[in-house]
Every structure is written in C-alpha cells, then in structure tokens.
Chains A and B, each alone.
Chain A
Amino acid sequence: DVKVTQSSRYLVKRTGEKVFLECVQDMDHENMFWYRQDPGLGLRLIYFSYDVKMKEKGDIPEGYSVSREKKERFSLILESASTNQTSMYLCASSSLRDRGVDTEAFFGQGTRLTVV
C-alpha cells in the first residue's frame, strides 16, 4: 500500500520557535509538495520539489523554507513560528508525469499545527 507519512498528527509550538515538519514517501516519487489548509481558503501550495535538492516556491512561501536532501523525504521549516501559521499542513507526492500518462498526488494525513 502506497504511503505518505507525516511525522506528527498534532503539534503545539510557541511563537518564535523553529519548527520542522517531516514528510516521507515510499513510492520513489520525484515530486513532493507542502500545502496548508485553512477554513474557507482550501489548500494553498507553499513549496514543491521535483528532485533532490531542488525546490520551487508555491503560492504562499513567505515564512517557510524547505529541505529535500533525500528523494523520499521533504521537510517544511518554519524559521520563527507565528500564530498566523496555525493551520493544517499537508504533504503530498507524485511521480514525474509523462505526456499522456496520468499520475495522481498522494497525500499524508496532515499535521495540525497550533502556534501559541
């Protein structure tokens, strides 16, 4: 069974702390993504990566950074957590798409982060 695993289901951190959210996939996927989900705003893309050590900004990268040192692992870093980063964070992975071949993104269960 394919899997995207996020290290924590729930996290509570203090304002100003450095926070690491970890995501591991076991499908040998090239692409990995970090989203945040807030009520009424849907899923918003923070960063994505299409290869080891490669990263691209999504729609809302401010306040976040990422690291991809190994193909299977993609980390989201909040350098100095703030209360407006309280949210559900979702990690996903997908394979490199060839023209005409459909691929799907597989999601983890999410990490609900509360910054107090």
Chain B
Amino acid sequence: LAKTTQPISMDSYEGQEVNITCSHNNIATNDYITWYQQFPSQGPRFIIQGYKTKVTNEVASLFIPADRKSSTLSLPRVSLSDTAVYYCLVDRSGGYQKVTFGTGTKLQVIP
C-alpha cells in the first residue's frame, strides 16, 4: 500500500481557506485517496474521497493532479470547530481493504 506523507501540524485563522497537502508517490492504479477528520476523544470520520481531478462535497474539496502522486484537501472558511486531526489515506478498491492510517495533520484554528 502507498505510504502517505503530510505535515504534522498547521495553524489557521478563522475564516481562511486551509489547504492540506498529502504526498503519495507510490500510489497504484487502483488506489483511491480518502481523507478523514478526527476530533479529540472521538473516532475518525470520513470527509471526502477521490480518484482523480477534483471532488467537492458540502464539507471540503479534494484536488488530485494528473500524476496522482499528491492530493490537497481544501477546507473553505474554517471555523474553530474545524480544529481536528486530518488523515490522508490511500487504499485499494476491489476485494477486501486494509485501511491504514498515518499520523495525520493537526489543524489548529485560531480566533
């Protein structure tokens, strides 16, 4: 499975757009890119998933360049409640899946 690398931590002011980039140089053809959010004392929660180009939902956007060796999670106009750890995962479609997390990016939103 492709290993992911993302910043350990980031700070942002309320109302700003936040972009968290994840690198996955060894991504395979049938791998998807998935992002999770985790608040303290809770289990992670799915945010968004994509394979290529751009995916947008009510929470975030995910940008994936053509070579798919990296991806960027974009959170528009963050609020204090977006303070959390964000995990980037690369996992395989088809058959059973081994969902492996890294250490994530701790986002601190500042008033």
- Residues of A whose CB lies within 8 Å of any CB of B are 4, 30-31, 33, 35, 40-45, 48, 50-51, 56, 58-59, 90, 92, 94, 96-110
* CB proximity of A57 to chain B, nearest CB, Å: 10
Task: Give bound CA distance, A107 to B47, whole Å.
Answer: 13
What residues of A have a CB within 8 angstroms of the CB of B96 in the complex?
30-31, 48, 50-51, 56, 96
The answer, among A41, A102, A107, for a CB contact under 8 Å with B45, is A107
CB distance from A52 to the nearest CB of B (A): 13
Distance in angstroms from B9 CB to nearest chain A CB is 11
Expressed in whole angstroms, the Cα–Cα distance for A68 and B104 within the complex equals 29
A14 to B95, CA, bound (A): 39
Count: A-B pairs, CB below 8 Å: 76
Query: Are B97 and A35 touching (Cβ within 8 A)?
Result: no
* A104 surroundings in chain B (CB, below 8 A): 34, 46, 49
Q: Show 13 residue pairs from A and B whose CB-CB distance is below 8 angstroms, ordered by the A residue.
A: A35-B101, A43-B44, A43-B87, A56-B98, A59-B100, A92-B43, A96-B95, A97-B95, A99-B30, A106-B46, A107-B42, A107-B45, A110-B41
Q: Chain B at the A interface: mostly helix, strand, loop or mixed?
A: loop
CA of A2 to CA of B104, assembled, Å? 25
Question: Are B93 and A99 touching (Cβ within 8 A)?
Answer: yes
For B30, list chain A residues within 8 Å (CB).
Answer: 99
Which 7 residue pairs across A and B have the least CB separation, nearest first? A107-B43, A50-B96, A104-B46, A42-B103, A43-B101, A102-B49, A99-B93
CB pair B42 A98 closer than 8 Å: no
Interchain nearest-CB distance for B44 vs A (Å): 5
**Residues in A neighbouring B95, C-beta threshold 8 A:** 96-97
Q: Tell me the complex Cα distance, A58–B41, Å.
A: 23
Q: Is the CB of A33 within 8 A of B103?
A: no
Among residues of A, the one whose C-beta sits closest to the C-beta of B43 is A107
- The residues of A that contact B36 with a CB separation of less than 8 Å are 105
A98 adjacent to B93 (CB under 8 Å): yes
